[in-house]
Amino acid sequence: MFDGLFAESPTPAPPAPPDPVAEARQAEVIQRLKQVVEPTLGNTIVSLGMVRNLRIVGDYVYLRLYVGSHQLALQDQVEQALAPLPWCKKTYVQLCTIPQVRITLAVSSGKGGVGKSTSTVNLAAALTQAGARVGILDADIYGPNIPQMLGIPPSAVEVIQTDAGQRFRPLMGYGIQVMSVGLLADPEHPLAWRGPVLHKILTQFLHEVAWQDLDFLLIDLPPGTGDAQITIVQESPICGALMVTTPQQVALSDVRRSIQMFRKVGVPTLGLIENMSYLRCGHCGETTPIFGQGGGRQLEQELNIPLLGQVPLDPRICAGGDGGQPLTLGEPQSETAQVYGQVAAGLIQTFAPRGAIEQLRTAVS
Ligand SMILES: Nc1ncnc2c1ncn2[C@@H]1O[C@H](COP(=O)(O)OP(=O)(O)OP(=O)(O)O)[C@@H](O)[C@H]1O
ipTM of the complex: 0.97
Ligand 1 centroid distance, CA of 220 (Å):
13
Ligand 1 centroid distance, CA of 1 (Å):
32
Predicted local distance difference test score (pLDDT) of residue 142: 79
Q: Is 117 annotated as a binding residue?
A: yes
Query: Given this structure, which CATH class describes domain 101-364?
Result: alpha beta
**pLDDT tens digits, one per residue of 172-199:** 999 999 999 888 766 666 566 677 777 8
Query: Given this structure, which CATH class describes domain 20-96?
Result: alpha beta
Mean of per-residue pLDDT scores for the chain: 86
**Is the CB of 245 within 6 Å of ligand 1?**
no
Nearest residue (by CA) to ligand 1, atom 29, is 318
Helices (H), 58-194: 74-82, 116-129, 146-149
Determine contact, residues 242/262, Cβ cutoff 8 Å. no
Ligand 1 centroid distance, CA of 250 (Å):
17
Q: Does residue 224 or residue 115 have the better pLDDT? A: 115
Sheet holding 51-57, edge to edge: 51-57, 60-66, 90-96
Predicted local distance difference test score (pLDDT) of residue 12: 55
Using only C-alpha atoms, the chain has a radius of gyration, in whole angstroms, of 21
Predicted local distance difference test score (pLDDT) of residue 115: 93
The residue extents of the domains of the chain are 20-96, 101-364
Atom of ligand 1 nearest to the CA of 320: 31
Q: Does residue 261 or residue 363 have the better pLDDT? A: 261
Distance in Å from the first CA to the final CA of the chain? 38
Nearest residue (by CA) to ligand 1, atom 2, is 313
On the 0-12 / 13-18 / 19+ scale of CB atoms within 10 A, 266 is: middle
Ligand 1 centroid distance, CA of 115 (Å):
3
**pLDDT tens digits, one per residue of 294-318:** 777 888 888 889 999 999 998 888 8
Q: Using N-to-C axis directions, what is the helix angle for 195-207 and 227-235, rounded to 10°?
A: 30
Identify residue 136 by its one-letter amino acid code.
I
In this prediction, residues 53-81 reach a mean pLDDT of: 95
pLDDT band with cut points at 50, 70 and 90 for residue 7? very low
Give the Cβ contact number of residue 301 at 10 Å: 10
Bridge-based pairing state of the strands 134-138 and 214-220: parallel
**Is the CB of 117 within 6 Å of ligand 1?**
yes
Atom of ligand 1 nearest to the CA of 140: 27
